[in-house]
Structure 1
Amino acid sequence: MGIELDTSAVARLRAAVTGTVYVRGEEGLAAEISCFNPAIRHDPDIVVAVASEEDVVEAVGFAREAGLPVRVQATGHGAEAPIVGGMIVSTRGLDRLSIDAEARRAHIGAGLRWAPVIVAAAEHGLAPVTGSSTSVGAVGYSLGGGIGPLARHYGFTSDWVRGFRVVTADGRIVTADRQTNSDLFWALRGGKGGLAIVTEMTLELVALRSLYGGSVFFEGGAIEPALRAWIDWSADLPDEATTSIALLSVPDLDGPPPPLRGRTVLSVRFAFPGETAEGEKLFAPIRDAAPVYLDFVAEMPATAVASIHNDPEEGGPTWIRGFMLDTFDQDAGDVLLELAGPGSGAPFLAVEVRQIGGATARDTDDGSAVGGRDSGYTLSLLAADPSTFAEAAPARAQAIADALRDRISAITNVNFAGDLADRAAFEKVWPSAVQERLTATRTQWDPDRMFAFGPA
């Protein structure tokens, strides 16, 4: 059930903004707030598709007067649960981008995806520290920290953020960086939400034209020896190298690459931003571990970073559970093979383990709110068959969690935590000291909790 909006106030809002205002039931609303996961369908009272920073100010003022909670969505990738009621500010129209090559800075609008940032930076021999998918919104991803294909070398993406422009709950446009509103800057790097609406992010770029990376695939009887080799090999990798694995049960349908359709495979991903010869030497033990089915690891331009994980560009119904692990050894490999490997009957399209550590374990010199720095690995379970979402996927995920309970980290980074309306999940996304400081910062900047975030 929604609320009845004041039609004259809505008319004034429409006249004040250059973007578009939708109220429940109007054509265009559903398309504006559609999610990458179409199983998630929002039902807000009102949506403001902003086209400028001033539009955000007007939207916040309307919500404050109407007593509406406000949530923000850009690309729709981060949606974990339906939003019912209140206002959604859609920031996908805030897509400005400028590159200051001399200062190695990118100024990124809140609605921009990574792909155009990568292309623009590459013209200057630079690159952003991105996530595995370049279709994800840069700002929303970075607010939670951000673990990408080069994380062990460069750290969390948020570690490279140098400033934000935001609209506060009282409708002010302010800057947050090391020198100005430093408490808010600390919180925005890893604190995710409930603070302000980000309109622009300033990101430091790294000097990177090419890297040695990609993925190799193993199938059939090669999966287990390759997985076991990866477990031992990755434990000794230098911090400059980042790796992950994914057990994939690929449906025999149009969409996936033909060589993978209808197959169960193990993908081993690798990224090394150094000399090709050194990268080849580091990766050789994986190629030697078992017969390789497909091999796409080679020197590549930095603009091809998305090909390392090959995340889908088009969305589909998904059920996801994620958490972090302190360790991942051969015993954990036993669990993965038994409960999610070939022949296990697991209902998952993908089971992914990312090795982190290295630079992700080191906070910035001025501190940030990122949770999960003490973990060694992430584990994500993804199901794509809606018939499994209610029972089969949650039950198998719980069995895996139970089997790995002694190594599940006390803290799971907010980007991997799922629905934060669950109080138990919310309380495990930051260490207690960080959680307390975040609560205080949210209270300072949004005392009435207008920017809805976390459990009610």
Structure 2
Amino acid sequence: MTTTETDFADALSGLRERVTAPVALPGEPEYLRSNPWNVAGQITPGAVLFASTPDDVAETVRYAVANELKVTVQATGHGALVVNTDTVLVHTGAMTECVVDVDNRIARVGAGATGQHLLDAATPHGLAPVLGSSPTVGVVGLHTGGGIGPLVRSVGACADYVRAIDVVVGTGDLVRATPQQHPDLFWGLRGGKATLGIVTAMEIELLPIPEFYGGAVYFDGADAAAVLHAWREWCVGLPESITTSVALLQLPPLPGVPEPLAGRMTVAVRYVALGDVAAAERVLAPIHGAATPLVDTVGVTPYAAIGGVHADPVDPMPVYENQALLNTLSADGIDAVLALAGPTAQSLQTIVEFRMLGGALARAPRVDSALCHRDAAYSLTTIGLPMPDLAERVTAHAHAIVDALAPWSHGGQFPNFAPSTDPDRPARVYTDAVRQRLAAAGDRYDPAGVYRAGQVVRLP
């Protein structure tokens, strides 16, 4: 059959008869529950299935195969892109299971659980999940994209701590993937995003980290040049017990934004150190001396509050993100960014951030994964708000910042950053060898091509 609008509507009415989970069609009130966190994402599926069990997901995929439909997945929608009317969106937001095996330091996490769910379950036991910068992000999406968080230099990528994955592959079968069972699937699900299936649960190793020394030091935007140059020089030779980033911020005067930071340009130096507190204080001293801080949140902090280091926005908003990985960061590179995004540049970006990489991230993980570009030394990320009257200018400005760093560019990107429908993006995210291996695995585990939507890798 061909999926004309009439055929598709008929097929979707049949789906309702096959699953116990709610199915919402365009125009129905429940359909709006699929609106993503990134409201700039063009999410207009032909139907939304609100899954609560793996069986819901598996039955939907089997039905899609039989009716030549496409399927994609969303939990929080932080990385939302485009979902068209020829696709069924499986919304896993209700699958928030979070069970901690304290003795073995393993958490079993459902497909809809966020970092905050996992923190709430693990940290009362003195255990730490390796997470990204925002606890509002879905755990599964974070880990299938590799996961670069505020401890990345000290402990590596989030995906390195996945121990088992339950996934519905493109045949509708529910498969358990581990280093021993379906090892090619286990490899590709850690870094390959949605290429190989819809993950229904993960088992993740937790670390015995009850607290850390860290937070952020905020400076006035007028001091941006002094702070960014001091940060670049200070990074040289830092031990891998320390993870740090620096960001130019233009935070709007909204509830939750501290008054000294709202409605103006500021500079934030983020800092997370493991180990000896006195040594960590001494290492940070040159940053405190770079300029006069406006706000200083650095101190001994419970791991439960790790999200406060970056203090990422919580409420849904439109976001346009771009990223470049860098081989090195020179003084000229800092000046190039300041010329476009510094205090006198009338920047259109809400955040322009450098992260220092290396350390544990740069070493080969215990079990190989599809996450590439571990050799990058730094990342640059831009985040702008593409409001209707500014969208084209925000996007062009973000590309200009990335282009200005071309002399120092690594050429790659990480899967969870700068999501895009650009057909050239997979070549930036993955090496040729990894891209070919992912595409071959996708063809093997999804022979009908039901997962050819969203962030997936397929070769022409």
What TM-score do the two structures reach when normalised by structure 2?
A: 0.95
Q: Does 1:227 align with 2:228?
A: yes
Equivalent pair of 1:46/1:87 in contact (CA under 8 Å)? yes
Contact residue 65 and residue 448 of structure 2 kept, 8 A: no
Rounded Cα–Cα distance in structure 1 between residues aligned with 2:344 and 2:224: 12
Note the C-alpha offset of 1:397.
2.2
Pairwise CA distance, 1:323: 2.1
- Tell me, in whole angstroms, the C-alpha distance in 1 between the residues paired with 2:431 and 2:387: 34
Query: Is the contact between residue 34 and residue 41 of structure 1 (CA under 8 Å) also seen in structure 2?
Result: no
User: Aligned-pair distance for 1:296?
Assistant: 0.5
Contact 1:422 1:454 in 2 (8 A): no
- State the SS of the aligned residue for 1:269: strand
* Structural mapping, 1:161-200, within 5 Å: 161-200=162-201
> Which one-letter code corresponds to 1:373 in the other structure?
R
| Residue 210 (structure 1) aligns with | 211
Instruction: Tell me the residue number matched to 1:22.
Output: 24
> Any idea what SS the aligned residue of 1:293 has?
strand
SS class of match (1:55) = helix
1:41 CA displacement: 3.3
Per-residue deviation, 1:144 = 0.7
CA contact (8 A) 1:3 1:45 kept: no
- For residue 424 of structure 2, give the secondary structure of its aligned residue in structure 1: helix
What is the TM-score normalised by the length of structure 1? 0.95
Query: CA distance change for structure 1 residues 382 and 82 in 2, over 3 Å: closer, same or farther?
Result: farther
SS of the equivalent of 1:135 reads coil
Deviation at 1:381, TM superposition (A): 1.0
Distance 1:353 1:6, change over 3 A: closer
Return closer, same or farther for 1:388/1:430 CA change in 2, 3 Å cut-off.
Answer: farther
Q: State the Cα deviation string for residues 105-138 of structure 1 (Å, max 9, x = none).
A: 0000000001121121112211100000001000
Instruction: Give 1:273's aligned amino acid.
Output: L
Q: Is residue 217–residue 266 contact of structure 1 (8 Å, CA) maintained in 2?
A: yes
Amino acid at match of 2:408: R
Distance between the aligned counterparts of 1:161 and 1:254, measured in 2? 36
Q: 1:236 is paired with a residue of what secondary structure? A: coil
1:146 aligns with 2:113: no
Name the amino acid aligned to 2:434: V
The CA deviation at 1:2 is: 6.2
State the shift of 1:406 in Å: 1.7
Shift of 1:216: 0.4
Matched to 1:426, the amino acid is P
In structure 2, relative to structure 1, the CA distance for the partners of 1:2 and 1:236 (3 Å cut) is: farther
Superposition deviation, residue 399 in structure 1: 2.2
- 2:143 is paired with a residue whose SS is helix
RMSD across aligned positions (CA): 1.8
Aligned residues: 454
The offset of 1:82, in angstroms, is: 4.6
Q: Which runs of 5+ in 1 are unaligned?
A: none
How far the C-alpha of 1:54 sits from its partner, in A, is 0.8
Q: Structure 2: how far apart are the matches of 1:83 and 1:130?
A: 30
1:423 aligns with 2:423: yes
Secondary structure at 1:248 match in 2: strand
CA contact (8 A) 1:18 1:51 kept: no
**3-state SS of 2:223 partner:** helix
DSSP-derived class of the 1:28 partner: helix
One-letter amino acid of the counterpart of residue 445, structure 2: W
Q: 1:6 to 1:285 in 2, by over 3 A?
A: closer
What pairs up with 1:285-324 in 2 under 5 angstroms? 285-324=286-325
1:182/1:72 Cα in 2 relative to 1: closer, same or farther (>3 Å)?
same
Q: Which amino acid aligns with 2:16?
A: R
Q: What whole-Å deviation, never above 9, does each CA across 1:67-99 have from its counterpart, x for those lacking one? A: 111111011111133544211111111111111
1:126 corresponds in structure 2 to: 127
SS of the residue aligned with 1:70? strand
* 1:298 shift after superposition: 0.5
How far apart are 1:66 and its partner, in Å? Answer: 1.5
Which residue number corresponds to residue 444 of structure 2? 444
Structure 2 Cα separation of the partners of residues 454 and 200 of structure 1: 22
More displaced 10-residue stretch of structure 1: 290-299 or 318-327: 318-327
Q: Distance in 1 between matches of 2:31 and 2:203?
A: 30
The SS at the match of 2:125 is: coil
Which residue identity is paired with 1:318?
Answer: V
Q: Point out the more displaced range, 163-172 or 81-90.
A: 81-90
- The aligned residue for residue 258 of structure 2 is 257
Residue 381 of structure 1 aligns with an amino acid whose one-letter code is T
Secondary structure at 2:283's aligned position in 1?
Answer: helix
Identity of aligned residues (%): 38
- C-alpha separation in 2, matches of 1:83 and 1:269: 38
- Equivalent-residue separation in structure 1 for 2:8 and 2:44 (angstroms): 18
Q: Is the 8 A contact 2:160 2:367 kept in 1?
A: no
Q: Deviations over 1:29-54 (max 9, x none)?
A: 122x1111212231111111111111
Query: In structure 1, the residue corresponding to 2:5 is in which secondary structure?
Result: coil
Structure 1's 102 and 327: CA in aligned 2 closer, same or farther, altered over 3 A? same
